[in-house]
Structure 1
Amino acid sequence: MALSSFPTNAPVQIQLDWIELKCLSDSFDCVIIEDIKSFIELQSDYQDEDISVEDEKSESTIDTILKELESRQKSLNSSYPFQIETGGNVISLTSKLEDMSVDQHVYLYCLIFSHVTNSPILTFKDAPTNAERDILQICSTIAAAGYVRGHSISFGFPRQDKTPYYAKAKKVLELLKEGRLRKEEEVNPLHSLSPKDAGIDIISWEESNDQMPGKKVYFSQVASGHNWKEKPVLHYIEIFKTYWLDQPILSRINDAMFIPFDMTDDVDNRYTAQQFIESELSKLGTIFYRRRIPAWFREGINFHQTKQGLVVERLNECHKITDYVGVKITELRAASVT
């Protein structure tokens, strides 16, 4: 696991990712901004016979990156683990890794996992394991609870409790107090023979005070790979409603997507991160990405502590997030000194 040279032609979001990873690779948990300028000026794209032009280009890049960092801070508040130190000369971690909150570790997991494959800034010796991918399912299940302020069931396969699809779906509907499954033998065999999770990874909902329909219900997909844009859950919701239920879920089911990535500008095609996310909403539903998941994860943890009887699965596995981050940072630092 090694960090490449500064990505001069990448979107600002990827450039900031590089700086965050550079902080993680440093034994003092920081990067001096003047050093960032040096990293930039080493790249041929920034070199110019006129030193003043070269300085102007690198300063402009740094200003854009710092604005992006401040934007991430504003989005995530205390869940964002980086800061610009007083005086504005250093970017650093907000605290030592071992002193960070779990939601900050969630951010670091998403940062690292965004770059485990096909990354312009980070190379990995080995492909990610299924267990490492499953950590995103843990983060997302808890974040979904925080978003709806309610129950959140980890429905994706393989399920930690080893429950078969039909039994798990039955448990969800009993908790939801809406809908009823067909008898298993009555389900169209094209859908019932080996459903695993049938494209649905998380089912979450806000409990209503009168237990009546009209709840905020979400069926979500969790996607850790770069093909996430091709995995809308809406189709699978229709399959569940059409082929598995003989009494409907009357509350409106919303669709959502959980991914570890940040939204990025596309320099070549000249659209911004905001324009991209706006264009994908109709296909993918609510998109929970790196600027959203850590803060909603924190809300999920906090709400569970105050709400008796709330079912939020995977809470007992938060240590896996911290363990992964610790191992990968150790590998990153080892590579930086070789």
Structure 2
Amino acid sequence: MPIEPVVTPELNAEDHVLVDWLELVAFFNEFRTARLDELDAAIEEQFEAPADDEPDEDTDDLGDANGGNIAKIDAAKERLRESIENEVDFRTTDCANAYPFRLGADAEELILVEDWQDDKFTPYLTCLITTHLTKKSLFDFEVSGDLIQRLRNRVFQVLSTFAMAGLASGSAASIGWPRSDKSDIIATLKRAETRGAGFRTRDTPGRYTPPNEKDGGVDVIAWQIDVRPPPIFFYFAQVASGHNWPGKPVSTHSKLFERHYMDDAHRGNVNYATLLPFRIVDEDQWNNEHVIHGALLDRTRLPKHAVIGQALARGGVEMDEAENMPQVLSWLQEFRATALA
């Protein structure tokens, strides 16, 4: 296994994949640095001199050919540098202060910040790793089922709860199964009710509620905190750590969720969101899925809202998962140690 257990993508890979590769190499690297030299070498291989069995060319023509190749190599390197810089600039801007990487002064390397284990950086790193636990992975090792299960059952749920609190500028309740405190949905909603969520919870689930229902298709609810309820904004949210999220919004479950568990539904503006670990780059998909999902918090949106949610919790706003950010860092550290073992 290489020092950094990451597969180098094809040179014609999309810009966001190349930057993912640099980020992963820097994350695993002893010096927290990924250099672009390997990509330069791949470019140069595309312009290798003709094979020995090909006809010889006269010296002048060969000189012209070599000069042309050098110019093409330099142009290709420049285009690659520019595309990578543009993508890193976008991530830096859209993540605000939650992006844990920076380009070197000469754009020859991508560097993981020294304090990457700070809670403001772990959301992005978790999303980056989650992206490559499924199809088109850049990992050059087999990830244990236990790490994947903990990510999907707990770690990404914790981050999503903070992110929804940040998006709503208020509080949030973690509905998705399995819930850390083993509470049923009714108890979880009654706790949210006492925090000003603006609805009244049933004492028991409605008569048509499926007997084995775990979360009713809703992973997080969040609401804006005001002087008095109902909150101006109320969110239903879905946590989607896999690639089968398109066209499957939480709004398809919310009406039944209300009927099954609420006597008196919230009376503010109802909104919907889906939280994703991926970097959504297709503009058509990005805009069309917003119409379907209400709002998308992808890899560059989720971290900055999670940071806001953490600040609210530290400021005294009560919310579920408030004490569970250490689970995220612990998972990241274990993932890194396992990959480098």
TM-score class, shorter? 0.7 to 0.9
Q: How big is the shift at 1:183?
A: 5.2
CA offsets per residue over residues 155-186 of structure 1, 9 Å max, x none? 1111111111222233333433533344536x
Distance 2:329 2:127 in 1: 12
Distance 1:177 1:114 in 2: 32
What residue in structure 1 maps to residue 25 of structure 2? Answer: 22
What residue in structure 2 maps to residue 294 of structure 1? Answer: 303
Is 2:156 the partner of 1:156? no
Task: Check conservation: 1:7, 1:121, Cα contact below 8 A.
Answer: no
CA offsets per residue over residues 285-326 of structure 1, 9 Å max, x none? 2111110121111111112222x4x22221222112112222
Is 2:238 the partner of 1:231? no
CA offsets per residue over residues 72-127 of structure 1, 9 Å max, x none? 11112321111112343322112154xx4212122111111110121242244134
Q: How big is the shift at 1:41?
A: 4.2
Q: Judge which range, 287-296 or 122-131, deviates more.
A: 122-131
Distance 1:30 1:180 in 2: 52
CA offsets per residue over residues 117-156 of structure 1, 9 Å max, x none? 2124224413453212120101111111122121111111
What residue in structure 1 maps to residue 335 of structure 2? Answer: 328
| Distance change (3 Å), C-alpha of 1:54 and 1:70 | same
CA offsets per residue over residues 258-289 of structure 1, 9 Å max, x none? 1111113xxxxxxxx33321110111121111
| Distance change (3 Å), C-alpha of 1:177 and 1:329 | closer
Task: Check conservation: 1:33, 1:89, Cα contact below 8 A.
Answer: yes
Partner SS state of residue 122, structure 1: coil
| Distance change (3 Å), C-alpha of 1:21 and 1:221 | same
Task: Check conservation: 2:235, 2:270, Cα contact below 8 A.
Answer: yes
| Distance change (3 Å), C-alpha of 1:296 and 1:330 | same
Task: Check conservation: 1:153, 1:203, Cα contact below 8 A.
Answer: yes
What residue in structure 2 maps to residue 68 of structure 1? Answer: 87
Is 2:29 the partner of 1:9? no
Distance 2:231 2:155 in 1: 31
What residue in structure 2 maps to residue 193 of structure 1? Answer: 211
Is 2:155 the partner of 1:135? yes
Distance 2:309 2:125 in 1: 18
Distance 1:38 1:252 in 2: 55
Partner SS state of residue 141, structure 1: helix
Q: Which runs of 5+ in 1 are unaligned?
A: 265-272
| Distance change (3 Å), C-alpha of 1:241 and 1:135 | same
| Distance change (3 Å), C-alpha of 1:178 and 1:301 | closer
Q: What is the aligned counterpart of 1:116 among 130, 133, 136?
A: 133
Distance 1:109 1:230 in 2: 24
Let me know the Cα RMSD of the aligned residues: 2.2
What residue in structure 2 maps to residue 317 of structure 1? Answer: 324
Aligned-partner residue type, residue 78 of structure 2: E
CA offsets per residue over residues 234-277 of structure 1, 9 Å max, x none? 0111112344433232112211011111113xxxxxxxx33321
Is 2:96 the partner of 1:77? yes
Q: How big is the shift at 1:36?
A: 3.5
Partner SS state of residue 129, structure 1: helix
What residue in structure 1 maps to residue 58 of structure 2? Answer: none
| Distance change (3 Å), C-alpha of 1:177 and 1:17 | closer
What residue in structure 1 maps to residue 55 of structure 2? Answer: none
What residue in structure 1 maps to residue 285 of structure 2? Answer: 276
**Bigger relative CO (Cα 8 Å, ≥ 6 apart):** 1
Partner SS state of residue 166, structure 2: helix
| Distance change (3 Å), C-alpha of 1:96 and 1:142 | closer
| Distance change (3 Å), C-alpha of 1:206 and 1:91 | same
Q: Which runs of 5+ in 2 are unaligned?
A: 50-68
Aligned-partner residue type, residue 172 of structure 1: A
Partner SS state of residue 6, structure 1: coil
Task: Check conservation: 1:27, 1:333, Cα contact below 8 A.
Answer: no
Aligned-partner residue type, residue 157 of structure 1: W
Partner SS state of residue 213, structure 1: coil
Is 2:54 the partner of 1:54? no
Identical positions, percent:
25
Partner SS state of residue 323, structure 1: helix
What residue in structure 1 maps to residue 63 of structure 2? Answer: none
What residue in structure 2 maps to residue 102 of structure 1? Answer: 119
Is 2:230 the partner of 1:222? no
Larger Rg: 2
| Distance change (3 Å), C-alpha of 1:235 and 1:12 | same
What residue in structure 2 maps to residue 263 of structure 1? Answer: 280
| Distance change (3 Å), C-alpha of 1:112 and 1:47 | farther
